Amino acid sequence: MSMADVKEPGSDVIVEIENELDLALATMRHSAAHLMAEAVQELIPEVKFAIGPAIENGFYYDMDLPRPLSPDDLASIENLMARHRDADEPFVRTEVSKADALETFKNNPYKVEILKELPDDSTITTYQQGTFLDLCKGPHVASTGEIGAFKLLSVAGAYWRGDEKRPMLQRIYGTAWPSQAELDDYLARVEEAQRRDHRRLGRDLDLFSVNDEIGPGLILWHPRGAMIRYQIEQFEQKEQLERGYQIVYTPHIASEKIYQTSGHLETYRENMYSPMSIEDVDYYLKPMNCPAHIKIYQSHVHSYRDLPIRYAELGTVYRYERSGTLHGMLRVRGFTQDDAHIFCTEEQSTDEIAAVIDLATYMAKIFGYDFKAYLATRPDKWIGDEETWARAIEKLKVALEQKEVDYKIDEGGGAFYGPKIDIKWVDALGREWTGPTVQLDFNLPQRFDINYIGEDGEKHRAVMIHRTLLGSMERFVGGLVEHYAGAFPVWLAPTQIALIPITDDQVEYCQDVADQAKQLDLRVEIFDQKERMQAKIRDAQLMKIPYMLVVGKREVENDVVAVRLRSGEDLGAMPVADFLTMAQRIVASKGLELTVKEA
Ligand SMILES: [Zn+2]
Ligand SMILES: [Zn+2]
């Protein structure tokens, strides 16, 4: 039942303070937000400020302005900020009563709303630097001179309190670092991330689209994107079959009865879409695959000898996400999970968890990700008993240690119904993405009375493990686009080989080479448009096709192809059979290389 606890690149994460260094950096960045507010107020005195926290790598401030901000405004604001920083204005903290604060900020409805929510006897603090006074609990640096190098990045719309029924404010994003060198380094990383943005590459490489008439957050996979997904799914299904999983399929809708039993209608309803009525029974789009897998398990009585049972499904689920949070393929409303549920005995559960960790680390290796593991423990709200929780957490620990995986404890990060292991992929830019999850569940086995008959002939409660590896295919492939910067390894590349005839005289020869390639399951395209050879090579390179085979009169005469790589490397003339053998070996290796390194 693991949910998409997404913390992907592109989202605004309020920083988690883990140590002194984080705190110092966040304090400096939040102080930069005040410095920015001071500058905005100087430029546009009618401004009303809402909130301005430090976020990962920077800060923002939401504000109500009489006009939209332009890029020129950002430059003016930056200049004013620099002036106030150089003036080294002290941040002055003052304690005030709630009544006084309400009086001071009476012209700002946002601050008034925040104040009204505080208890009447609470101590409220304000901070002032220069002419700018803000309602804020701090902390701040001593004076503006302690704010390092900064840059304003963008302006976006943001609803007050993230609620689309409340006013739309303008949000200015900025970044701040202790030194200019760190700022420059960060900006270079941002530029690289933009170059890799899956929404941009998805369009340029013709991988996917989102269409207004179909609806936001619903992904249309174009043939090139679908080919990538198909290859991944084929590979994964084969791997799962080899590891003792059984593939199942379940429907996209299910009656309310099952979601009453599962508790989804009680605890998960806000993420589900409105029901449709069929013959007077309400049906829901499924938000999760678990209940259907349980019903398959329960279609027979199981003995301990049948266990473990592992059901895997590429299950498409639908979950409500606010339109403001949708983001390309990373945050969507319908997606396909590589979901699996393992039913086993308590004694088997450690080995089952270890086997999932093994498969997860194998996936990381195949796709070239580093990874970090987190063990998420009991949250404040939980079910079951202390002893069961302690035993379950111990099992997850033992499994991680068995597989020699380093992990951190995510204190209280588990679900109310059980602890879990979360693995984050670390991509080529060092960013963390939601990856595999292994979750123990004390809730559904009880709600559905999931049993097996033990050696003693008695009924025993089965252990249920929820597990995804790649997570959602949408998010995973979107992440891969950025990880590879669109240059997919040969086994995944939608087109692996571009055949480029120099003149029409070589088209027939190219067709013959293409037929040979297809016989070997290689994906090939002939570039026979009426264009100059250089233009065709450029087109193939833009599509990031791994191999470009240029064929002129000489190549036909010698039965060879001139091989160029998308990296720009020129391998020269190769006999057709040699090239195809090499390409086949590269595909089989699933490696990132384009040529075979001779041992
Ligand atoms: Zn599940
Ligand atoms: Zn503040």
Cα 444 to chain centroid, rounded = 27
196 near 478, Cβ under 8 Å?
A: no
Residue of 30, 327, 378, 420 marked active site: 420
Residue of 111, 331, 424, 466 marked active site: 466
Residue type at 574 in one-letter notation: M
Distance 482 CA to ligand 2 centre (A): 35
Q: Can 319 be counted among the known catalytic residues? A: yes
Distance 77 CA to ligand 1 centre (A): 49
> Which ligand is nearest to the Cα of residue 139, counting in written order?
2
Among candidates 443, 470, 465, which has minimal Cα distance to 340?
465
Q: Can 198 be counted among the known catalytic residues? A: no
Residue of 136, 290, 344, 510 marked active site: 290
At 40-69, the pLDDT tens digits run: 999 999 999 999 999 989 999 999 999 999
Q: How confident is the model at residue 99 (pLDDT cuts 50, 70, 90)?
A: very high
Distance 134 CA to ligand 2 centre (A): 7
Distance 80 CA to ligand 2 centre (A): 19
Residue of 264, 310, 331, 341 marked active site: 341
C-alpha angle 327-329-330 in degrees, rounded to nearest 5: 60
Residues 6+ apart with CB under 8 A from 110: 48, 49, 50, 51, 64, 160
**Tokens (6 digits) for 273:** 């879409």
Distance 440 CA to ligand 1 centre (A): 10
Residue of 73, 134, 339, 441 marked active site: 339
> Which ligand is nearest to the Cα of residue 417, counting in written order?
1
> Which ligand is nearest to the Cα of residue 53, counting in written order?
2
> Which ligand is nearest to the Cα of residue 36, counting in written order?
2
Distance 195 CA to ligand 1 centre (A): 36
At 414-425, the pLDDT tens digits run: 988 899 999 999
Q: Quote the crossing angle between the two packed helices 507-519 and 576-589, to the nearest 10°.
A: 40
SS3 at position 582: helix
Q: What percent of the chain has pLDDT over 70?
A: 97
Residue type at 507 in one-letter notation: V
Distance 186 CA to ligand 2 centre (A): 24
> Which ligand is nearest to the Cα of residue 134, counting in written order?
2
Q: Can 341 be counted among the known catalytic residues? A: yes
Residue of 199, 286, 319, 424 marked active site: 319
Q: How confident is the model at residue 385 (pLDDT cuts 50, 70, 90)?
A: confident
List residues, by chain if needed, whose CB lies under 5 Å from ion ligand 1: 1, 290, 466
Distance 182 CA to ligand 2 centre (A): 23
> Which ligand is nearest to the Cα of residue 289, counting in written order?
1
Distance 309 CA to ligand 1 centre (A): 14
SS3 at position 493: coil
Residues comprising the chain, all counted: 599
Q: How confident is the model at residue 597 (pLDDT cuts 50, 70, 90)?
A: confident
> Which ligand is nearest to the Cα of residue 292, counting in written order?
1
SS3 at position 112: helix
Q: Which pLDDT score, from 0 to 100, does residue 14 have?
A: 59
Q: How confident is the model at residue 10 (pLDDT cuts 50, 70, 90)?
A: very low
At 145-167, the pLDDT tens digits run: 999 999 999 999 999 998 889 99
At 298-312, the pLDDT tens digits run: 999 999 999 999 999
Distance 467 CA to ligand 1 centre (A): 7
* DSSP notation for 135-154: E------SBGGG--EEEEEE
Distance 207 CA to ligand 1 centre (A): 29
Q: Which pLDDT score, from 0 to 100, does residue 168 have?
A: 93
SS3 at position 443: coil
SS3 at position 255: strand
Lowest mean pLDDT among 134-138, 489-493, 546-550: 134-138
Q: How confident is the model at residue 102 (pLDDT cuts 50, 70, 90)?
A: very high
Distance 187 CA to ligand 2 centre (A): 25
At 471-517, the pLDDT tens digits run: 999 999 999 999 999 999 999 999 999 999 999 999 999 999 999 99
Distance 341 CA to ligand 1 centre (A): 6
Residue 295 confidence (pLDDT) above 60? yes
Distance 493 CA to ligand 1 centre (A): 31
Distance 117 CA to ligand 2 centre (A): 18
**Tokens (6 digits) for 239:** 């791997």
SS3 at position 8: coil
> Which ligand is nearest to the Cα of residue 51, counting in written order?
2
Residue 13 confidence (pLDDT) above 60? no
Residue of 129, 240, 337, 506 marked active site: 337
* pTM given for the model: 0.84
> Which ligand is nearest to the Cα of residue 467, counting in written order?
1
Distance 107 CA to ligand 2 centre (A): 19
Q: Which pLDDT score, from 0 to 100, does residue 69 have?
A: 94
Q: Can 290 be counted among the known catalytic residues? A: yes
Q: Which pLDDT score, from 0 to 100, does residue 470 have?
A: 96
Distance 133 CA to ligand 2 centre (A): 10
- Please name the residue that has the structure tokens 């040979």: 516
Q: What percent of the chain has pLDDT over 90?
A: 87
> Which ligand is nearest to the Cα of residue 291, counting in written order?
1
Average pLDDT score over residue span 517-533: 94
54 near 15, Cβ under 8 Å?
A: yes
Average pLDDT score over residue span 279-292: 96
What's the N-to-C CA distance of the chain in angstroms?
46
Distance 290 CA to ligand 1 centre (A): 4
Q: How confident is the model at residue 186 (pLDDT cuts 50, 70, 90)?
A: very high
Average pLDDT score over residue span 326-349: 95
Q: Which pLDDT score, from 0 to 100, does residue 71 have?
A: 86
